[in-house]
Each structure stands twice: as C-alpha cells, then as structure tokens.
Amino acid sequence: MILTALTCLTPSWFIKTLPAHSSRAVIKVMVSSILTSLFLGFAFLTLSGVNAVVPPPRPSVPKIEALDAPVTSRNGTTLPPYTTVYEFDQVIDHDNPSLGTFKQRFWFTYEFYEPGGPIILFTPGEVSGDGYSGYLTNRTINGQIAQQQNGSAIVLEHRFFGLSNPKPDLTVASLRLLTIQQAIDDLEYFANNVHLPMPGGDSVPPGKAEWILVGGSYSGALTSWAMVNKPGLFKAGYASSAVVETILDYWGYFEPIRQNMPKNCSADVEAVISHIDQVLMGTDKNAITNLLTQFGMQALSNHLDDAAGALRNNLWDWQSLSPSTGTEGAFFKFCDALEVKNGKSASASGWGLDHALSAWATYWKNTYMPQLCGKNDVVDCLGSYDATQDYYTNTTVNNSNRSWFWMVCNEVGFLQESAPTGHPTLVSRLIQPIYDERQCQFMFPAAFSKPPTIDVEVTNIKYKGWDVSIDRLFFANGVRDPWREATVSADGVNVPSTSQQPIAVSDGFHCSDLSTANANVDSTVKAVQVQALQFMKSWITPTTSSSPSAPQYHYFKRDPNPIVHTQAMEEDVEPLRGIRWLKDTL
Ligand SMILES: *[C@@H]1O[C@H](CO)[C@@H](O)[C@H](O)[C@H]1NC(C)=O
Ligand SMILES: *[C@@H]1O[C@H](CO)[C@@H](O)[C@H](O)[C@H]1NC(C)=O
Ligand SMILES: *[C@@H]1O[C@H](CO)[C@@H](O)[C@H](O)[C@H]1NC(C)=O
Ligand SMILES: *[C@@H]1O[C@H](CO)[C@@H](O)[C@H](O)[C@H]1NC(C)=O
Ligand SMILES: *[C@@H]1O[C@H](CO)[C@@H](O)[C@H](O)[C@H]1NC(C)=O
Ligand SMILES: *[C@@H]1O[C@H](CO)[C@@H](O)[C@H](O)[C@H]1NC(C)=O
Ligand SMILES: *[C@@H]1O[C@H](CO)[C@@H](O)[C@H](O)[C@H]1NC(C)=O
C-alpha cells in the first residue's frame, strides 16, 4: 500500500506546476491511470463515549449567530427574530420533479429592505443551518450589503444537511440526490418560487428583483458554480475562500499553514515528520514500537498510517484561526509546546529533532490526545480500519460529516495528504489518497465495491473551476487560508482580477472577510469588504414595479437523462446545454 501510494506523489506535484488548462488533461490521465484508491482522515473525539471518528476539517463557513430577539426595521416596525425558522417546499429531484417536495429550512429578515431592493441569498453549505443567523445581519458582509443596498437577506440550508433532507436517511440510495447540480437547481427553484415572509414577498423572483448570491468556502465555490451554470439568475455574487477548483490530492491544504506558521515550529514539525517516516517505513520493529509508545499510540501498531496521519490534527487546528481571535487557539498552544523550553523560544531554525520529537510526543500523549479522544480508546478514536464503526455505518440525518463525505467521494475530493516527494511536508508521506479513498468504500459500500477513483475533473469541466469568467462576481480570499490553494488566488494559477470579476485578497484566514468582527481588527480584511461594497453599489440598481420586468434570465431545461460521469459524456455536456439554453432563449 505504501508503495502504491508513493507513486502518486510525482504526478501531483508535476500537475501543480502546469498552467490550469493543460493540467486538466494531465490530471485526468494521471487520475484514471494511477489511482485506484481512497479517502480521508479521521481522528476523533470525544466526550460522548460513542465511537467517534473525527474527520478532517471541511471547507465550511464559520458559524456566526445573531441575537435571538425581535428585530426592529428601519421604520420602527417589529419583525420576527433572526432565528425564526421558515420552510420552503423544495423539489426532491430536479431530474424527476414528479417525486414531489421536501421541507427546506431557511432564515430570513427584511430589516433593511425597501421595495425595489435586492434579495441576498446565502447558504452555509455543508453544515446544519443552525447557528448561522448572523449571516442575516450586519455582523457579516451579507448584512452589510443588505444595509447598503436596502436588501433583504436569506440563509438557506443546503439539501442533505441539518434538517433539510429530501429523504429520511443518509443511505446511499438517498444520497444519490446529493449532487452539486441538485444543490444549484435548489437555488434556482427557491429563487423563482419562494414567497418571502414580508409584504410583497411573493413577487420578487429574479427578473422582478435583483438577486445576489453570497457564499464562503464550499458554498463560495457553489456561488461561482451556480453563476456559471445558471447565467443571468443572479445579478451579482460574493464568493469568499471559494474552493472553485476541485482537487483530488489536496496536499496544498498545508502550504499556507507551512508558509505562515512560526518558522521555528515549521522547521521542527518537518524534522519530526521526516524522522517518523524514516522509522515507520523502516524495518526496525523495536524502533517503531518505541516511537509509537512515546506518543501513546502503541495500540495502532497494525496501522502505522493511522498513527502518523493522526498528527495532522495539530495542523488542522490552523483552520479555526481568525484575525479576531489573534494568537489564541489550539494551533499556537501546539507550537508553544514544541518551541518554548524553560521559558525560552527557539530561534527560527527550531530546537532540532531531539527536543522537538520528545516535546511533541509528550504534548500529544499527555495533553492533546486526551482532549481529542475523551473516553474513547486510541483505536476507536484514531483508527480508520474498522468498517463497523458508527462513524461509517450511522445513516441518521443531520450528520454533516457523512453527507459531506459523500460529496468528497463523488465530486470534490480535497483529500488532505502529504506533500509530493522533494517538497517540504508537515504531513507523513504514509498519508496518500488511497488512505482516504478506502474510507469512501467503508462508508458507502453500496456505492463503492472498491476504493473509488474520485473524478474531480468532471466537476472542474462542468463548473469551470479556475477558468471561471463571470460578470459581477467578487472573489475574496485570505493569504493564510488553508483552502487558498483551491481558490482563484492559489499559488501559480494567475486568474486575472478584473472590474467584472474582481479578486481581493486580505491577510486573513478561512472566510475571514465574511465577518464584520474580523474587519474591525484587521485593516486588510476591512479593505476587502469596502471594495466589495463599492462593487455591489455599482452593480445593483433598485428595481421598481414600473420598470420593465422582462426576465433577463431564461430557464433552460436539463437533460432528463441522468448524467453519466464519464469523460467522453461530460465533454459533451457543456456545449449541448449551451445549445439548449440558446434555443429556449429564442
Ligand atoms: C414599515 O416597514 C414595513 C416593512 O418594511 C412596512 O410593511 C410598513 O408599511 C412600513 N410602515 C411605514 C409606516 O412606513
Ligand atoms: C448594524 O445593524 C444594526 C441594526 O440591526 C444597527 O443598529 C447598527 O448601527 C448597524 N451597524 C453599522 C456599523 O452600521
Ligand atoms: C435605500 O432607501 C433609502 C430610503 O429609505 C434611500 O434614500 C436610498 O437611496 C436607498 N438606497 C439604495 C441604494 O437604494
Ligand atoms: C518560535 O516559537 C514561539 C513559540 O511558539 C513563537 O512565539 C515565535 O514567534 C517563534 N519564533 C520564530 C522566529 O519562529
Ligand atoms: C446515529 O447518530 C445519531 C445522531 O447523529 C444518534 O442519535 C444515534 O444514536 C446513532 N445511532 C447509533 C446506532 O449509534
Ligand atoms: C443538528 O446538528 C447540529 C450540528 O451538529 C445541531 O446544532 C442541531 O441541534 C442538530 N439538530 C437536531 C434537530 O438534532
Ligand atoms: C463531525 O465531525 C466533527 C469534527 O470535525 C465533530 O465535532 C462532530 O461531532 C461530527 N458530527 C457528527 C454528527 O458525528
């Protein structure tokens, strides 16, 4: 397994250095010819006592809550609290509307709305919508846009997350309806059919009002993908940390971390990981046992990749950093544990292997792992090879980890692996795509009889990835965001920033620019928001009931035959749809 995995390294690095267009074809070939493998991490928690594998972080939007209190509109009218839950009858299957509808949850306010103002639509993406009501308010860029443009704001829960489920469970049969395309079709159907709970709220579909789509992370990518896929539906978009390019071996996750973490800490992490790999890939059984014992993970001796991969947890903590929380946070506690000795910090080169290894092992064993695993034993907590674990088998709804994993295994990949050979790595080289792809089979045996080859290039071709070129779409990214390498601001990708599709970059982390609190403490984040507001002002014009309301948006009917994900077919899909769309327009 190790050998198979190692062969994947060179190709992925090679791809990374090519221009976007050629990389597509190359990746395609490499992916299909080389990989036969698998997917994702785990780690675990926790206090519940249930087997609880903790998966790698998702590209998700940080939670921002609003007060659970009545809202006062501009003219003094009392409106329902932001936390009020509304339901929309959404189509279960856009390829077969006769299957009926399900309840899709949404949150809404017209606090700042004036007739003629825009409707600002946001989905938190691959999480339950609970706790995202702040995205209705000016605690976020959404509310700032609403306030400036006299708009109303909506938070719409994504299908198969939270309590917005087309089917009563998360079995494979149900999850077949969880695709990027169905999610985009949901946005379209919602915009065209919702009766918003405000005066006149039944007559503001696209064409009569201007709709703005806002998203962050996966939902930021969805913003770009929806605007590509449904031209004219949304007047404008704001896509924060948008992971527009789906990437199978997303080792780039750790690059912004490596580049921006304290130098002494990255030097020592690299040294320790290199040593661990040497021992674990060697033949000295005693050395392996001693090393595992040092970290308190001797129980994982049958699966050395689980032990080595678990150490990614310390790095994953980077994703929850934000300008407004500064140097607080688990990530910095970890670096302090390695780098501060007798009250003194190491210089930029670190303390070196000996101290760093023993400091990391001690911190991991005595402090970090007990917090991560709670009452679970090490194997239940950090092992990924037991396909009978609740983590793999539980199909109860409201399990965002499972629903997202479905998307990972089918359409997006984003496996957080070690860097290619020859490139510095913070992650053990035992961690290769097959490690995670195997877990796709464990979780969805009814879909995958072997670890799947995740064909992310189909997604990139269909929704344009880095090749997106759309009018009035504002991209906002952060230099320190671990998801940066899948955005239009990825190193070496050079997507142009234009007045129609501006790209603004702050010093922020993941989705930092969605939050007003971050802008208040970081002037680079503030500058991004100021620019976005200026663009929105120039792009959005109040519509009046007397203004001609001939919709600028034309429906186009989808091919009633489900799309078969083969490369040959997919390449036909775009042009075919273009033709069909044209026909309906005429
Ligand atoms: C105040 O605003 C609400 C909703 O925007 C509207 O229904 C109401 O008629 C307004 N009242 C006045 C006095 O303008
Ligand atoms: C944000 O909105 C609230 C009303 O919800 C308002 O009182 C406050 O002034 C606004 N903040 C800014 C900075 O405009
Ligand atoms: C928002 O509404 C106010 C009236 O309450 C109006 O003066 C202002 O011009 C409107 N702004 C926009 C951008 O439509
Ligand atoms: C060394 O590590 C300490 C503790 O984490 C950190 O505060 C400091 O900035 C680091 N210094 C360098 C030069 O990396
Ligand atoms: C499955 O998960 C749900 C919550 O997500 C939990 O309530 C239930 O007990 C779990 N089922 C089993 C068999 O562990
Ligand atoms: C669904 O999951 C979310 C996040 O895990 C949680 O906050 C919420 O309470 C859950 N809802 C229900 C009804 O279980
Ligand atoms: C999903 O994983 C996260 C950790 O990433 C964990 O906190 C959460 O409890 C998990 N949710 C479920 C439903 O297992």
The CA distance from 408 to 187, in Å, is 21
Atom of ligand 7 nearest to the CA of 57: 5
In this structure, which ligand is nearest to the CA of 395? 5
pLDDT digits 0-9 by tens, 328-348 = 899 999 999 999 999 999 999
Instruction: Kindly tell me if the per-residue pLDDT of 575 is higher than 60.
Output: no
Residue 6 has pLDDT above 80, yes or no: no
Neighbours of 463 (CB within 10 A): 25
* Phi, psi values for residue 330, rounded to 5°: -60, -35
Q: Torsions phi, psi of 271, nearest 5?
A: -65, -45
Please give the Cα distance from 314 to 84 (Å, whole number). Answer: 37
Report how far Cα 470 is from the mean position of its chain's Cα atoms: 21
The yes-or-no verdict on residue 314 having pLDDT over 80 is yes
Which ligand neighbours the alpha carbon of 143 most closely? 2
Residue to mutate (ligand 3; options 150, 212, 235, 539; most atoms within 8 A of CB): 150
pLDDT digits 0-9 by tens, 465-511: 999 999 999 999 999 999 999 999 999 999 999 999 999 999 999 99
Look at residue 566 and tell me whether its pLDDT is greater than 70.
no
The helix or strand, by DSSP H or E, that contains position 316, with its residue range, turns out to be helix 312-316
Taking the CA of 117 as reference, the closest ligand is: 3
pLDDT of residue 543: 85
Ligand 4 site, residue 383, Cβ cutoff 6 A: no
pLDDT for position 545: 55
Using CB distances shorter than 6 Å, the residues near ligand 2 are: 111, 137-138, 147
* 358 noted as active-site residue: no
Does residue 398's CB lie within 6 angstroms of at least one atom of ligand 6? Answer: yes
Catalytic residue among 37, 164, 174, 217: 217
Which atom of ligand 5 is closest in space to residue 390's alpha carbon?
A: 14
What is the pLDDT at residue 328? 84
User: From ligand 3's centre to the CA of 147, what distance in Å?
Assistant: 9
Instruction: For 198, list phi and psi in degrees, rounded to 5.
Output: -150, 160
Is residue 481 among the annotated active site residues?
yes
pTM for this prediction: 0.86
Cβ count near 49 (within 10 Å): 10
Tokens for 98, please give them: 């006769």
Instruction: Spell out which residues line ligand 1, taking CB within 6 angstroms.
Output: 73, 75, 77, 110, 113, 199
Q: What DSSP state is assigned to residue 409?
A: I
Using one digit for the tens of pLDDT, what is the confidence trace for 138-164?
999 999 999 999 999 999 999 999 999
Instruction: Tell me how far the alpha carbon of residue 413 lies from the centroid of ligand 7, in angstroms.
Output: 19
Most informative mutation of 79, 138, 150, 530 for ligand 2 (most atoms within 8 A of CB): 138
In the predicted structure, residue 584 carries a pLDDT above the cut 60: no
What pLDDT digit, counting tens, does each position of 166-225 carry? 999 999 999 999 999 999 999 999 999 999 999 999 999 999 999 999 999 999 999 999
| CA–CA distance, 228 with 464 (Å, rounded to integer) | 7
Mean of the pLDDT values across residues 266-277? Answer: 98
pLDDT in tens, 388-437: 999 999 999 999 999 999 999 999 999 999 999 999 999 999 999 999 99
